[in-house]
Structure 1
């Protein structure tokens, strides 16, 4: 292997500085991501106490929403990476051009997703085995969420632009404010409190889009005032050359998310073979998993930002030091989280439901999550390293191979032929996590990412 995570690459004096930079970026990113997850989890938690079938329907609708926002993910990741590299290269003209074209991509994405409102019922029909109440909840929620896509697209891309500058605190604060609004409106509109009508699933969706538009308005104001982007110097028309570079970097990550999300939809259909209760337990397990990897996700964002900045500077030793220190921090966080989850699963489960049957079913996946945090930490660290250097294609290929040749075949065989239900499905899921994280680690250690890192650095320098 060309590189090793056991080697420091940094002087003893630089190690504390790099760790401080990582933590400074990671902590707000963790906070923001926890708050982002609370958007969907607030809906899930309130609806879990309102009706577990409504909760399951909303879970399915959210899975479909994540599948269809491919361009949004492309614009967000591309903006973060190109802005970080441009900042490292000290290319002020590139920063302004990327900012304007990131705004255009956010607006375009909002329009494209809103149009899909007219196809929401057809999208839900990909699940053939749904009970009536679950199906109706999914259709109602997805239609309203798609209608409010502008709020989602502006918040996602503008937050990504700020993260590219190394500002992870502002997106966290804005997300926190919008999340408090969402929780209040969720409670009021789902259960009919404070003079609001009892709208159930519809109330959860309306609360989410109203709070997103509130956050989008705040971020719009903040981005236009940032000196680094120089947006106040006048309007700059859309330029395909700049948008192409943003999408070139971001699109493989979008396709990776698409591949993963489609795989999750197929995985959901496999679980529905085992019954609606098994799927409800799985959804709670997934929500706990999403909470569990927040530290690793935050550190991954920090690695992406710093790796992009040091790649723009052409400082390979600093870049390698960032990756190693980020990986170590991620391991420390995730192993600690894993122990807590394994030993105390029930309090986490009861956040989402008080139904005794679903609580009992959900304990299995939650405990399994606790045992495999090491691999989640490694995968997130490698994602940050590869994306920051513009190497977004290899993770996409690895995810495709892993989902479709490991997770889904194993899960189907275990559920269909061995009748292992939820356990069988999660055996496939854990095999996928181990396989995927190992391949990404081996690719980074091989040094094959360096060629694309050089191309990314040179192309950003040429933007003006």
Structure 2
């Protein structure tokens, strides 16, 4: 368990396993993109488009998982270990059910969903195959997301990292085997990539489940997975639903933006997919620092160490900003060569290269937004981040993207400009909110007025 009184639980100690895990997830996506590019650029466009669709559907269960993660960190910080345990169990059960529903929907109507989202008609057959197979495994994504979140927020950030390593090794091996027909495997192209994705995630679920059952002081038993504690679930939703709205704003706005890009053509869609891969690498360390800061701040806040929690946000922002700027500079200098690793199409490379300078401006804004936004979420101020996301993402990132990118004909340049403005606006507003400390002081005062708090008795005999 995470003990904030010990020096070994510093921001970096929490962050580096998260970074390795995110890097491995990035590697999974990059290898997917690189290997799929050997099939065709159309296949790459389908994978990039489908992944945006999958992210949109994950909002249903990440709402619960994210809220549960913050609450677990807070409860452990205030030594309410049984509460934290019940929260973890409920989050896993509910999100697994939601993931199963998503799987059924995507298996039933993959091409119809792609048509509604304006995917070019000639890509529909490939999309139908990929969405039905990978989307059919949404239940695995739900289970992975929740178990990883629960495990990380108990202080064990290394466990999910090791699982990510194993998943990547299996996925890369199976990708190579199915795409090129190596080692006696059939040469199944994009279908093989989809099967490889599901198989590697199934392995990850098995390993994470073994960790999850042992992630608290008392081992979770199978019969406890039916436990439901209404007051604690209400706490999850109180924090989680604004997070879900916030996340859905981002995911659905990105999905709509992808549909805008799809109307520009398959080359633009493929270029955006390749750039998304490179940008993800650029922001990996910044994202891991912001995630670690959220865990640290939630624990400190739960333990009543408000001043330390307040300062931790700025420290995470300063460290993260340095790393993302350096990474963005490297990408700016070598971006064209990196794009050349994915495709030989000079049109796609030229489109991607035209966005490298804009990415250099974008990344510091993302770090500002994520570091301060995560800090606000860690203390339960999730409604503020929801409100600014509703306004900024829909009016600027989505609405203005259509005006500049499609209506006025500026294409990807216009869309990227709106994404930059959106990130900086939300980041600045989050900074002002955190600097004012209004919610921080209010929450601390309320905490001091309450008794030590409820400790939930085990729902079953342990």
TM-score scaled by length of structure 2: 0.90
Secondary structure of 1:350's aligned partner: helix
Q: Report whether the alignment pairs 1:462 with 2:451.
A: no
Please, which of 256, 261, 284 is the counterpart of residue 251 of structure 2? 261
On the 8 A contact 1:150/1:213 being kept in 2, the answer is no
- Per-residue CA distance 1:243-301 (angstroms, 9 max, x = gap): 23223222222221211121112212222333221221122112211111111110111
Separation of aligned partners in 2, 1:91 and 1:254: 25
Q: Report whether the alignment pairs 1:209 with 2:198.
A: yes
Partner of 1:295: 285
On the 8 A contact 1:296/1:377 being kept in 2, the answer is yes
On the 8 A contact 2:268/2:351 being kept in 1, the answer is yes
1:231-246 matches, within 5 Å, as 231=220, 235=224, 237-246=227-236
Please, which of 57, 71, 75 is the counterpart of residue 82 of structure 1? 71
Q: Report whether the alignment pairs 1:147 with 2:136.
A: yes
Partner of 1:92: 81
On the 8 A contact 2:154/2:215 being kept in 1, the answer is no
Partner of 1:171: 160
CA distance 1:421–1:232, shift in 2 (3 Å): closer
- Per-residue CA distance 1:173-231 (angstroms, 9 max, x = gap): 11111111111111211232222222222111111111111011011111212343542
Partner of 1:346: 336
Partner of 2:460: none
For the aligned residue pairs, the C-alpha RMSD in angstroms reads 2.4
Q: CA deviation at 1:150?
A: 2.6
Deviates more, 1:102-111 or 1:380-389: 102-111
Separation of aligned partners in 2, 1:213 and 1:454: 45
Separation of aligned partners in 1, 2:447 and 2:268: 45
Q: CA deviation at 1:61?
A: 1.0
1:388-407 matches, within 5 Å, as 388-407=378-397
Q: Report whether the alignment pairs 1:219 with 2:208.
A: yes
Partner of 1:40: 29
On the 8 A contact 1:98/1:243 being kept in 2, the answer is yes
Partner of 2:189: 200
Q: Report whether the alignment pairs 1:158 with 2:147.
A: yes
Separation of aligned partners in 2, 1:266 and 1:272: 10
1:8-23 matches, within 5 Å, as 21-23=10-12
1:248-397 matches, within 5 Å, as 248-397=238-387
Secondary structure of 1:228's aligned partner: coil
Please, which of 133, 138, 150 is the counterpart of residue 127 of structure 2? 138
Aligned residue-pair number:
448
Separation of aligned partners in 2, 1:459 and 1:173: 40
Separation of aligned partners in 2, 1:396 and 1:337: 29
Q: CA deviation at 1:114?
A: 1.9
Separation of aligned partners in 2, 1:166 and 1:461: 22
Partner of 1:49: 38
Separation of aligned partners in 2, 1:456 and 1:297: 30
Q: Report whether the alignment pairs 1:183 with 2:169.
A: no
On the 8 A contact 2:63/2:241 being kept in 1, the answer is yes
Q: CA deviation at 1:232?
A: 5.2
Secondary structure of 2:277's aligned partner: helix
On the 8 A contact 1:71/1:254 being kept in 2, the answer is yes
Deviates more, 1:98-107 or 1:285-294: 98-107
CA distance 1:301–1:415, shift in 2 (3 Å): closer
Unmatched runs of 5 consecutive residues or more in structure 1: 1-13
Separation of aligned partners in 2, 1:21 and 1:127: 44
CA distance 1:300–1:454, shift in 2 (3 Å): farther
CA distance 1:340–1:460, shift in 2 (3 Å): farther
Q: Report whether the alignment pairs 1:422 with 2:412.
A: yes
Q: CA deviation at 1:389?
A: 0.9
On the 8 A contact 2:120/2:263 being kept in 1, the answer is no
Separation of aligned partners in 2, 1:136 and 1:203: 15
Q: CA deviation at 1:146?
A: 2.2
- Per-residue CA distance 1:138-189 (angstroms, 9 max, x = gap): 2211111122123212211111011111211111111111111111111211
